[in-house]
Chain A
Amino acid sequence: MKFKGIKQISQALHSKDISVQELHDIYANRQKQSAKQLNCLINRTPQLAQQQIVAAQALIDSHQGSILTGIPLVHKDLFCTKDINTTCGSRMLENFVAPYDATIVDNLNAVGMVTLAKANMDEFAMGSSNENSYFGAVKNPWDLSRVSGGSSGGSAAVVAAGLAPIATGSDTGGSIRQPAALCGITGIKPSYGRASRYGMVAFASSLDQAGVLARSAEDCAYVLSQMCGYDAKDSTSAQVDKEDFSQNLQQSIKRMKVGIIREWMDGLSAGIKAVTEQAIQKLQDLGAELVEVELPTAHLAVSAYYVIAPAECSSNLSRFDGIRYGHQCQNPKDLNDLYVRSRTEGFGEEVKRRIMVGTWALSTGFYDAYYLKAQKIRRLIAEDFNQAFAQVDIIAAPVSPEVAFKFNAKKDPVSMYQEDIYTVPSSLAGLPCMSIPIGMVDNLPVGLQLIGHNLQESVLLNIAHQYQQDTNWHSQVAEGYHE
């Protein structure tokens, strides 16, 4: 059951081969066995799960359930969950109990999904290795001496190790795609505005998007369809009709035009390049046509991103001042001391680095030189994508320049930022994008990134599903986690 798709699990639930409780217990036992070793969870939520199990079983028994009813999931710990700790991987919010549910949590609760736990993550979603969590790094199920990727590293490890079939994640500059790639699973970030940001603790508001990590594109499609939709509580929410992203999965991809960025391919190491070319060849075998496209401004994306994201974070994180909630220092001698020590103690090193970079970039006199310039680059990159999508339906590209690396391998922050070179361009343009597993290098998983035009999630999921119908990489499980 652990590695079966949602459709099969749901059939078993609806035909009474298994109860919601029994299904839950399978995953709960897995979590007891492996969660500590992987360090992929921050808090388990047994009381909430128990209530939801009863409600889900009642829905199924009265034939009102949907395909997602009773399916267990884990939420990344930056989605507010009512009356449950929402830590954001930070000491600052270690004891913060959210007084409400995020809209996406609400949407998934509404169909009777069962919440098992809150997943570990880089502090405030800042990081590409999950080493920035106050609760410790997540280990990669494929090799426990290596990182899971970040910032949704806990979510990715949970799904890869079969501790839940589904995990939610968030992606600001690659935080779903990169850990999905490094852990050998499937992950999708929808277009900016598709999923409500209400109740998701803000990192960089103009980039943050919620998404799904699962074993297959098909499972991503089911959950994403339920998660997304216009929300009046988020003014940047896209005013488009709710869509069933699973509708087009079976379509043939014959004559679909797939864009390739030659420059990106040529920059890859030999191993990853070979695997990526194989995957692209497979798309061609399935009938897709390859077209070379160019993104002339994309090489500036990392620089622009590491101005914009810190700038927004420096403002978004100013509410954590130790006054109303969150970490408060002991015996402050005055107000300033309260602010300074609460924040110094409550935030980790990378968060503080970004707050300082962002504050500086926004300060009077530097605004035009940094923030404004970065915004201009952002617009040019979006324009590059527009040009490309005039010629192709989707773009196929690498996710990460390397496979999962060893802990402490990237002590220089700039070398860590370079991990995001292939993921931030589509983030800056607000485009839907996903990662699917396509092979192994040195016994570690490699992902392929698919980037779609705005609101074209169903095209992405269609091509990903067709690839997965013909290949088995998404069914691979790391040694030691089969049973």
Chain B
Amino acid sequence: MSSNKTQWETVIGLEIHAQLKTASKLFAGTNTTYGASPNSQVSLLEAAVPGTLPVFNEKVLRYAIRFGLAVGAKVIAKESRFDRKNYFYPDSPKGYQITQLHHPIVNMAPSP
């Protein structure tokens, strides 16, 4: 690193995790009740049983749009997509996370 500190600018990014208050999960109809007994809130989908498919929770979409409007997002996407982040790890039964990289619902960046 150069000794001249003025050549460097500090940029801090925050990754904020928030749990939405929904009755069921993001991609499955299973409950999210706090304190329920172990393994009582898991379906074939979360266990990554072959042939199961995710179904997006509509409430989550509504919350995402509300959040976007609340923080003054310029863009609420008319078309949005999910992306898979693939990696092997014991807490990831499907071998991927479902995320939004290319076409998120809320995008703070000004459109190009």
- Residues of A participating in the B interface, judged by any CB pair closer than 8 Å: 79-80, 86, 88, 93, 96, 98-100, 102, 197-202, 232-235, 314-315, 318-319, 321, 323-325, 335, 339, 359, 362
Instruction: Chain A residues near B51: list those with CB within 8 A.
Output: 79-80, 86, 98, 100, 102, 197-202
Q: Taking A198-B53, A235-B54, A235-B55 as contacts, is the C-beta distance between A321 and B88 under 8 angstroms?
A: yes
Q: Taking A232-B55, A233-B55 as contacts, is the C-beta distance between A323 and B90 under 8 angstroms?
A: yes
- Judge whether B94 and A198 touch: CB under 8 Å: no
In the complex, B52 has a CB within 8 A of chain A: yes
- Judge whether A319 and B44 touch: CB under 8 Å: no
In the complex, B69 has a CB within 8 A of chain A: no
Among B49, B93, B96, contact of A315 (Cβ-Cβ < 8 Å): B96
Q: How far is the CA of A233 from the CA of B53 in the complex (A)?
A: 7
Instruction: For residue A224, give the distance in angstroms from its CB to the closest CB of chain B.
Output: 20
The 7 closest A-B pairs by CB, nearest first: A318-B95, A199-B51, A319-B48, A201-B50, A80-B51, A319-B94, A201-B51
* Chain A, Cβ-Cβ closest to B45: A233
- If A198-B51, A318-B96 are given as contacts, then 10 extra A-B residue pairs at C-beta distance below 8 Å, sorted by A number, are A98-B49, A198-B53, A201-B50, A233-B55, A235-B54, A319-B93, A319-B94, A319-B95, A321-B88, A323-B93
Q: Taking A100-B44, A315-B86, A321-B88 as contacts, is the C-beta distance between A198 and B95 under 8 angstroms?
A: no
Q: How far is the CA of A88 from the CA of B51 in the complex (A)?
A: 11
Q: How far is the CA of A80 from the CA of B53 in the complex (A)?
A: 13
Q: How far is the CA of A418 from the CA of B49 in the complex (A)?
A: 33
Q: How far is the CA of A319 from the CA of B47 in the complex (A)?
A: 9
Most buried by A among B53, B54, B84, B94: B53
Tell me the dominant secondary structure on chain A's binding face: loop
- Judge whether B49 and A325 touch: CB under 8 Å: yes
Q: List 16 A-B contacts (CB under 8 A).
A: A98-B49, A100-B51, A197-B51, A198-B52, A202-B51, A232-B55, A233-B55, A235-B53, A235-B55, A318-B95, A323-B90, A323-B93, A324-B93, A335-B90, A359-B86, A362-B86
Q: How far is the CA of A459 from the CA of B91 in the complex (A)?
A: 48
* Chain A, Cβ-Cβ closest to B50: A201
Tell me the dominant secondary structure on chain B's binding face: loop
State which residues 45-89 of B face A: CB under 8 Å: 47-56, 84, 86, 88
Mask, B26-39, CB within 8 Å of A = 1, is 00000000000000
Q: How far is the CA of A299 from the CA of B76 in the complex (A)?
A: 38
Instruction: For residue B58, give the distance in angstroms from its CB to the closest CB of chain A.
Output: 11
* Chain B, Cβ-Cβ closest to A79: B51
Q: How far is the CA of A232 from the CA of B95 in the complex (A)?
A: 24
Instruction: Chain B residues near A359: list those with CB within 8 A.
Output: 86
- Judge whether A96 and B50 touch: CB under 8 Å: yes
Q: How far is the CA of A98 from the CA of B52 in the complex (A)?
A: 11
Instruction: Chain A residues near B96: list those with CB within 8 A.
Output: 315, 318
Instruction: For residue A439, give the distance in angstroms from its CB to the closest CB of chain B.
Output: 38
Instruction: Chain B residues near A197: list those with CB within 8 A.
Output: 51, 53
- Judge whether A234 and B53 touch: CB under 8 Å: yes
Q: How far is the CA of A50 from the CA of B5 in the complex (A)?
A: 81
Instruction: Chain A residues near B95: list those with CB within 8 A.
Output: 315, 318-319, 321
Q: How far is the CA of A98 from the CA of B53 in the complex (A)?
A: 15
Q: How far is the CA of A428 from the CA of B95 in the complex (A)?
A: 26
* Chain A, Cβ-Cβ closest to B47: A324
Q: How far is the CA of A359 from the CA of B86 in the complex (A)?
A: 9
Q: How far is the CA of A41 from the CA of B44 in the complex (A)?
A: 27
Instruction: Chain A residues near B55: list those with CB within 8 A.
Output: 232-233, 235
Q: Taking A99-B44, A339-B88 as contacts, is the C-beta distance between A319 and B50 under 8 angstroms?
A: yes
Among A324, A335, A362, contact of B48 (Cβ-Cβ < 8 Å): A324
Instruction: Chain A residues near B44: list those with CB within 8 A.
Output: 99-100
Instruction: Chain A residues near B88: list those with CB within 8 A.
Output: 318, 321, 339
Instruction: Chain A residues near B93: list those with CB within 8 A.
Output: 319, 323-324
